[in-house]
Amino acid sequence: MTETVATALDFLGIDRELSEEERLIRDTTRRFVEQRVLPEIAVWFERGEFPREVAKELGALGLLGMHLEGYGCAGTNAVSYGLASLELEAGDSGFRSFVSVQGSLAMFPIWKYGSDEQKREWLPRMAAGDAVGCFGLTEPDFGSNPAGMRTSARRDGSDWVLNGAKMWITNGGIADVAVVWARTDQGVRGFLVPRDTPGFATRNIDRKLSLRASVTSELVLDDCRLPGDAALPGTSGMRGPLSCLNEARFGIVWGAMGAARACFASALEYAGTRVQFGRPIAAFQLTQQKLVDMLVELSKGTLLALHLGRAKDAGTLTSQQVSLGKLSNVREALEIARSARTILGANGVTLEYPVIRHANNLESVLTYEGTSEIHTLVLGQAITGIAAFE
Ligand SMILES: Cc1cc2nc3c(=O)[nH]c(=O)nc-3n(C[C@H](O)[C@H](O)[C@H](O)COP(=O)(O)OP(=O)(O)OC[C@H]3O[C@@H](n4cnc5c(N)ncnc54)[C@H](O)[C@@H]3O)c2cc1C
């Protein structure tokens, strides 16, 4: 990387706002991505596979459930978790998704709402990457409106019996335990479903052109019988799953800026070396305009992520503020990826460069964890007092 590019990547000197420990976690994650993810990612993306064995390496680095305390988790602050998410997504959104789902969507509900026994059984193994978790909320007919879910859990003696289907579940096909949200006569509750439970099956969704280095699956629950203590005792109602999504979305606010940074760096380097009409394309005003627009949005988005991270560490962050961060940073990251793609010309559509992969991945990131439309309406409600989405 040239000095000009390195300066552009932290144009505002945001690095100086980080503590030594935060920088250490950031640098360690960045090194892992450079050494372990970048050399292989095009192949994994093309083959449509997530290398399951990397889970243990992520665990050894302390990145799984890193913002949780105890049970083998690293117990870092929120900004460190955000910085790690950014670096992972600079590699590929699939890796950040794996870590988000494991830490915020599978481990967090166990940590926050689980019994001591459930925590002891699952959290240490999940923190180490020995066990993988997934989060089953979305259904074939209920995405933006998960409260309408059909999956049900009914009592049969002391057991629970679950029926229904969950769709688009990250890590589903490789999960050792699924956190499944189901309708009960006490409202929506979370259940821990180990992979080998009779009546539980997964089917991978293979033909996707986005987040290819990530496993996405359908979960099928067909008279799936669980012991009475499989339910998470600490939550009932939609508050439970929504609180988990809020945790994971916080990681996306940062992660999206990682994908954006990778695209910006690629476009800036390319523009400096690609010669047309006898000059590097970086010398043309239209190219500079694109690069500067990227610089401005990348800098603003990274500052926004840091601001929300400091608020989370101070305990003042609201879910609506997270919605603002997710909406803005994913939208701008996608814009940066598409614009970077144009600078790379035909090379931009190949896997030799990271931009089309990031652009395709960001299409999923724009949709999952609340679509951009839903976050717009959440913010609309926050400032007008009127809910426009129901
Ligand atoms: C790769 C990938 C991984 C995923 N991983 C998981 C996971 O691990 N666990 C999980 O539970 N889910 C997961 N999801 C599902 C994701 O959360 C849903 O796709 C998302 O919530 C949107 O639901 P939907 O796709 O059914 O779209 P729909 O809800 O059908 O929406 C379709 C369109 O209509 C718009 N729309 C809907 N309602 C309104 C409204 N009231 N006002 C305005 N516009 C509206 C939406 O914004 C969208 O543009 C994943 C999805 C993808 C693509």
Tens of pLDDT, residues 8-45: 999 999 999 999 999 999 999 999 999 999 999 999 99
In this prediction, residue 5 carries a pLDDT of 85
| Alpha carbon of 148 to ligand 1 centroid (Å) | 13
| Alpha carbon of 72 to ligand 1 centroid (Å) | 33
Cα distance between residue 173 and residue 192, in whole Å = 15
Residue 288 in tokens: 């500079």
Q: How far apart are the first and last CA of the chain?
A: 49
In this prediction, residue 160 carries a pLDDT of 98
Cα distance between residue 358 and residue 260, in whole Å = 8
Whether residue 263 contacts residue 337, with contact meaning beta carbons closer than 8 Å, is answered with yes
Cβ of 80 less than 6 Å from ligand 1: no
Mean pLDDT over 212-216 rounds to 98
In this prediction, residue 205 carries a pLDDT of 97
CA of 144, closest atom in ligand 1: 29
Nearest partner of 55 among 136, 145, 175, 144, judged by Cα: 175
| Alpha carbon of 367 to ligand 1 centroid (Å) | 5
For the stretch 93-147, pLDDT in tens is 999 999 999 999 999 999 999 999 999 999 999 999 999 999 999 999 999 999 9
Cβ of 181 less than 6 Å from ligand 1: no
pLDDT interval class at 3 (50, 70, 90): confident
**Which residue is closest in CA terms to ligand 1's atom 41?**
389
Cβ of 211 less than 6 Å from ligand 1: yes
Whether residue 212 contacts residue 138, with contact meaning beta carbons closer than 8 Å, is answered with no
Whether residue 114 contacts residue 143, with contact meaning beta carbons closer than 8 Å, is answered with no
pLDDT interval class at 6 (50, 70, 90): confident
Cβ of 104 less than 6 Å from ligand 1: no
- Please give the share of the chain, as a percent, with pLDDT higher than 70: 100
Residue 96 in tokens: 């950040």
Mean pLDDT over 149-163 rounds to 98
Cβ of 98 less than 6 Å from ligand 1: no
CA of 370, closest atom in ligand 1: 21
Give catalytic residues, as residue numbers.
369
pLDDT interval class at 237 (50, 70, 90): very high
Cα distance between residue 354 and residue 348, in whole Å = 8
Cβ of 217 less than 6 Å from ligand 1: no
| Alpha carbon of 365 to ligand 1 centroid (Å) | 10
Nearest partner of 162 among 132, 139, 131, 133, judged by Cα: 139
**Which residue is closest in CA terms to ligand 1's atom 44?**
373
Cα distance between residue 132 and residue 49, in whole Å = 15
Cα distance between residue 22 and residue 11, in whole Å = 19
Strand 177-184 and strand 187-194: the pairing is: antiparallel
Cα distance between residue 361 and residue 45, in whole Å = 10
Mean pLDDT over 157-177 rounds to 98
Cβ of 216 less than 6 Å from ligand 1: yes
Buried b (16+ CB within 10 A) or exposed e, 39-62: eebbebbeebebbeebbeebbebb
| Alpha carbon of 245 to ligand 1 centroid (Å) | 13
In this prediction, residue 103 carries a pLDDT of 98
- What integer best gives the mean pLDDT of the chain? 97
Mean pLDDT over 212-225 rounds to 98
- To test the pocket of ligand 1, the residue of 108, 141, 168 to mutate (highest count of ligand atoms within 8 Å of its CB) is 168
Residue 77 in tokens: 């602050």
- pLDDT over 80 (residue 1): no
CA of 210, closest atom in ligand 1: 1
| Alpha carbon of 35 to ligand 1 centroid (Å) | 33
Mean pLDDT over 308-315 rounds to 98
In this prediction, residue 390 carries a pLDDT of 81
- pLDDT over 90 (residue 2): no
Task: Label each residue of the chain as H, E or C.
Answer: CCHHHHHHHCCCCHHHHCCHHHHHHHHHHHHHHHHHHCCCHHHHHHHCCCCCCHHHHHHHCCCCCCCCCCCCCCCCCHHHHHHHHHHHHHHCHHHHHHHHHHHHHHHHHHHHHCCHHHHHHHHHHHHHCCCCEEEECCECCECCCHHHCCCEEEEECCEEEEEEEEEEEECHHHCCEEEEEEEEECEEEEEEEECCCCCEEEEECCCCCCCCCCCEEEEEEEEEEECHHHECCCCCCCHHHHHHHHHHHHHHHHHHHHHHHHHHHHHHHHHHHCEECCEEHHHCHHHHHHHHHHHHHHHHHHHHHHHHHHHHHHCCCCHHHHHHHHHHHHHHHHHHHHHHHHHCHHHHHCCCCCHHHHHHHHHHHHHCCCCHHHHHHHHHHHHHCCCCCC
Cβ of 169 less than 6 Å from ligand 1: yes
| Alpha carbon of 60 to ligand 1 centroid (Å) | 33
**Which residue is closest in CA terms to ligand 1's atom 48?**
371
Whether residue 93 contacts residue 365, with contact meaning beta carbons closer than 8 Å, is answered with yes
Cβ of 368 less than 6 Å from ligand 1: yes
